[in-house]
Structure 1
């Protein structure tokens, strides 16, 4: 039957056309490839089974699932999910997976894939630090009083001093070859001074304390800590990478000039990002993302690491603008659920807790580092809060919250690892310290809050007429 006026073709004719124009050319091409390609076909099929992109996607899926599973598990016992995610990264590394089956670790996360994951992880860290700067409310620093000022500064000064003192004892044991005492001591001081602002905000929200007076106080103190810690870290990187005193000064001057330029552009950025979500808004959104990468590139060239440029760019943007909120919602989820787990995995793959088991003395160093970290941060915050007249249990809550280090600490430690300031053993000890001090926060706060409620009840029952 021929085609009708409406253009329809009979079934038989369709089959003939398909066989002639599709099946026969495909069969001919296959026969030609087999004849000419010979035995190379098998090698090609084997190569296809180990395709690097397939391995990369499999590794990403594994990491995200493990981090989510362990994070959910620890959240059920009242811990912030980041504690489980850090632990998951350690489990995927030499500490567990490589110990149980080195072949399985190499098959799941082979070395070529690991290099690809490191690039993605660094992008995640840059975006995370940018979001941390964007979400910081600098207005919190106004009108918070003397208590916030003293607690925040003591929470930096005390652990920094103890970190430098610890470096005096640890330098001979843990400093890598070629690393001088000054960058080693400065870095250890900064590492013990960190408070994880994003994790702290999450804890306060979970405990219903974010909008209370103590929540505002602690967030203010942590904000000062965060800004100070990034500045100190920039100084440490400048000292570690510059070849002379003049080089350090040039790096500091260039960093200050870059920060000044960004701050001077803040009003213009505010006008640019104040637009609604039209075409201009979409253009501004792309401009923000490009700005993050350009700022990160500038500070990397200056010599103070890419994350510092991303943080400064986040601080310079008006956080209440429409585009800033859209950026947070769009890249925040991808960064926290996809890219940061890759960073946890990379940190875990660089953390070999088996090193601590080889030499029993290293566990003694581990206990010492944790004790010094807690004494400096928790002890310094409690002491300063009490000295400024805060009740004992309120001071205890402030100290417990300020002692939370979380993901921000891992970012700082990763910088030290990349610069070669931290030996593998010291890196493992400091990662373990991060895990312990972050896990301490919620139980200690709940303990002090229960005691606070008991004190209030005792006072109430002791009043006349009750």
Structure 2
């Protein structure tokens, strides 16, 4: 990654001004890329992801390296004469924190939109697809990871073969749950068997993936307590939030609303609880996004969730979430693809990702009772790995589990599989004789309404589930 040499720590004022400029560039780039990809049938969320990579070393750093290094500095030199005094640039830390806040708020919105009542009617199909969508990718990815483990281009020598196998298997199994929610909304699949089963599968698969990642991280750190804490702490959180949490959330919903709508104290209280949930799950090792999603699931649907979505969603989706994609893009070094060996691994990884996830989920959904057209549509949508895959890769890179070369290979696989999800879904729908409704300009404008991603018309009044 490009590095910016500094002798003095930037002031708070300098960091603020720089962040405002970064954010303006990010928003303009996401909007511009969205205009282009929309013509190709891609949702805005994919445009945000692509824009994040283009602002990193991939394009901007290649064409204008000095500008890219100044706009998105990654390294700070406290002493110009000592190369060992490098630290992460405070500007990079600001981007990271903004992106994490965007992830937490967005997953909370997705959780509030998740229709457990619709899921109940398709539970068998969801479980069948989930099991297949976890076992097959983990098995095939593990074989690939085991083979690559001895190659220090992809893994550090301290990483054991089984750790490499488990990490790659996890990367193959994951699905971008929040990104999938937006894709489903933009394709008018809310409340349909295809959309509901796909979202349920993604929720199960990602939960398993986070647990496996905790095992890999704990083993890499030589501390089994990390995995035990993630497993035990995560189980406690799920049980508390989905039992006692539902009761308390119903009381919160009644207290937070009055005749004029959402009370300021209600919004503040909800945000405090959300941040505490995110902090807890981050601390125990199942990560903040899981805690935010489950808290959203526990809240009863109605006026309260409608008001929360109205307050949170637009700023989160349009302003904060794109910063995460830019942060991820800064770690991607596409120059490694000039190595024929790395390029070959990329081709193999993409093929394994498509076949292991898409085919397995298709067969699982079909076996569980969905018709072939709907089952294949689930398989196509489950290949959208975008957001959650990037979260996993960033953790792997931060913990020293993967090298920048493997990070880049898996990140590019993420882009390819996510780009292919929507066109492949439409192709399957046309071949099955039930073409999906096209995405109109109005749909794109309304895409921030994630509540439509997972259900039919929203309930007009609060009704605890």
Tell me the TM-score normalised to structure 1 length: 0.79
Q: Does 1:51 align with 2:30?
A: no
Deviates more, 1:129-138 or 1:64-73: 129-138
Q: Tell whether 2:319 aligns with 1:338.
A: yes
Work out which of the residue numbers 132, 135, 138 in structure 2 matches 1:160. Answer: 138
Q: In structure 1, which of residues 311, 315, 321 is the aligned counterpart of residue 293 of structure 2?
A: 311
Task: Decide whether the 8 Å contact of 2:211 with 2:286 is kept in 1.
Answer: no
Q: Within 2, Cα distance between the matches of 1:419 and 1:389?
A: 41
Alpha carbons of 1:53 and 1:318: their partners in 2 closer, same or farther (altered >3 Å)?
closer
Q: How far apart in 1 are the matches of 2:117 and 2:207?
A: 13
Secondary structure of residue in 2 paired with 1:399: helix
Instruction: Tell me which residue corresponds to 1:3.
Output: none
Q: d(CA) in 2 for partners of 1:321 and 1:420?
A: 44
- Partner Cα distance (1:387, 1:265) in 2: 35
Larger radius of gyration: 1
Aligned to 2:400: 420
Partners in 2 of 1:58 and 1:288 — Cα distance? 31
For the structure 1 residues 266 and 212, does the alpha-carbon distance in structure 2 shift closer, same or farther, using more than 3 Å as the test? closer
Aligned residues: 405
Give the match for residue 42 of structure 2.
79
Counterpart of 1:254? 233
Within a 5 Å distance, the mapping from 1:198-347 to structure 2 comes to 198-241=178-221, 243-263=222-242, 264-275=244-255, 277-278=257-258, 281-315=263-297, 317-347=298-328
* Structure 1 match to 2:448: none
SS of 1:416's equivalent in the other structure is: helix
CA distance in 1: counterparts of 2:294 and 2:220, whole angstroms: 21
With over 3 angstroms needed to count, the CA separation of the structure-2 counterparts of 1:254 and 1:239, relative to structure 1, is farther
Closer, same or farther: CA 230–304 of 1 in aligned 2, 3 Å = closer
Distance 1:276 1:300 in 2: 27
Q: Is the 8 A contact 1:91 1:348 kept in 2?
A: yes
Conserved in 1, the CA contact under 8 Å of 2:110 and 2:181? no
**Take 1:298 and 1:311, find their aligned partners in 2: how far apart are those partners?**
13
Change (3 A) 1:247 1:377: closer
| 1:101 correspondence with 2:64 | yes
Aligned residue for 1:192, secondary structure, equals helix
**Structure 2 counterpart SS, 1:176:** coil
Residue pair 1:175, 1:422 contacting (<8 A) in 2 also: yes
The 1:213–1:387 alpha-carbon spacing in structure 2 relative to 1, beyond 3 Å, is closer
Structure 2: gaps spanning 5 or more residues: 1-9, 75-88, 436-465
SS in 2 for 1:273: helix
Alignment CA distance shift 1:313-1:418 (3 Å): farther
**C-alpha distance in 1 between matches for 2:34 and 2:70:** 24
Partners of 2:311 and 2:434 lie apart in 1 by: 44
For the 8 Å contact 1:131–1:314, the answer to whether it is kept is yes
TM-score (norm 2): 0.79
CA RMSD of aligned residues (A): 2.7
Structure 1 residues 412 and 72: CA distance shift in structure 2, 3 A:
farther
- 1:89-108 CA distances to partner (integer Å, 9 max, x unpaired)? 11111112122222111232
**Aligned-pair CA distance for 1:390:** 4.8
Q: Quick check: 1:237–1:305 contact (8 Å CA) kept in 2?
A: no
Q: Does 1 or 2 have the higher relative contact order (CA < 8 Å, sep 6+)?
A: 2
CA distance in 1, matches of 2:289, 2:434: 45
- Is this contact kept in 2: 1:319–1:325, CA < 8 A? no
Structure 1 or 2: more helix by fraction: 1
* Corresponding residue SS for 2:159: coil
